[in-house]
Amino acid sequence: MDDRPFSEQLEAWLKDHSPKTLANLESVFAEKSFAFIILILMAIPALPIPTGGLTHIFEIIVMVLSVELIIGRRVIWIPKKWRNLKISSKTETKLLPALTKRVKWLEHYSKPRLSGLLNDPNFLRVSGLVIFVLTFGALVAPPFSWLDTLPALGVVIVSLSLILEDALLYVIGCLIGAGGIVLEIKLAEELFNLTKSIFSAIIF
């Protein structure tokens, strides 16, 4: 087990010249690979920029991984085609170094809180359900609406909490993700009521 801070492990992995594939991530980060792969895949949807639905493949992969957590798997299974999926050069050279800086900053303030609970197999099943729901919320958000940002950010923070073993981060991630889903529901209600009023005005 690597006892270095997670940010140092991430920096070492980035400097390594091995292929940056999902299979490589799994082999390097071992027991934290579930959380780290989910973190990487959801980092782009969590950015406050419109993605136009281009990140849906990442969200689908994360939902598959979350189902594996729910059924109790501790070793990742993904289709061979996905295992060889490479992280884009832009993600490797820009997003991940920026993410490493944020993680390093967070490590100064974060500390293990209820780490035994966060590593409990039954709690990891619950975490899989939480990640699935939040990722689904990001997936169904309309393209170019920015509404996928908060649910995706919630997944990112929940993943970080599992990596850093900090229950406070876990709660923060859940609250942010849930807030994003509530916002989506409220907007959907407003659009439904607006559409209903328009049709009522036309008919009557």
Q: Is the pLDDT of residue 172 over 90?
A: yes
Q: Is the pLDDT of residue 194 over 90?
A: no
Q: Is residue 188 part of a domain?
A: yes
Q: Give pLDDT, residue 168.
A: 92
Residue 52 covered by a domain: yes
16 in any annotated domain: yes
Residue 184 belongs to a domain: yes
User: What is the domain count for the chain?
Assistant: 1
pLDDT 10s digits, 24-37 = 666 666 667 778 88
The verdict on residue 195 lying in a domain is: yes
Higher-confidence residue: 33 or 171? 171
Q: Is residue 177 part of a domain?
A: yes
Question: For residues 13 and 129, which has the higher predicted lDDT (pLDDT)?
Answer: 129
Range(s) of the domain holding residue 38? 6-203
Return the pLDDT at 26: 65
Which residue did the predictor score with more confidence, 87 or 170? 170
Q: What is the 3-state secondary structure (H, E, C) of the chain?
A: CCCCCHHHHHHHHHHCCCCCEHHHHHHHHHHHHHHHHHHHHHHCCCCCCCCCCCCHHHHHHHHHHHHHHHCCCCCCCCCHHHHCCECCHHHHHHHHHHHHHHHHHHHHHCCCECHHHHCCHHHHHHHHHHHHHHHHHHHCCCCCCCCCHHHHHHHHHHHHHHHHCEHHHHHHHHHHHHHHHHHHHHHHHHHHHHHHHHHHHHHC
Confidence of residue 171 (pLDDT cuts 50, 70, 90): very high
- Domain membership of residue 1 (yes or no) is no
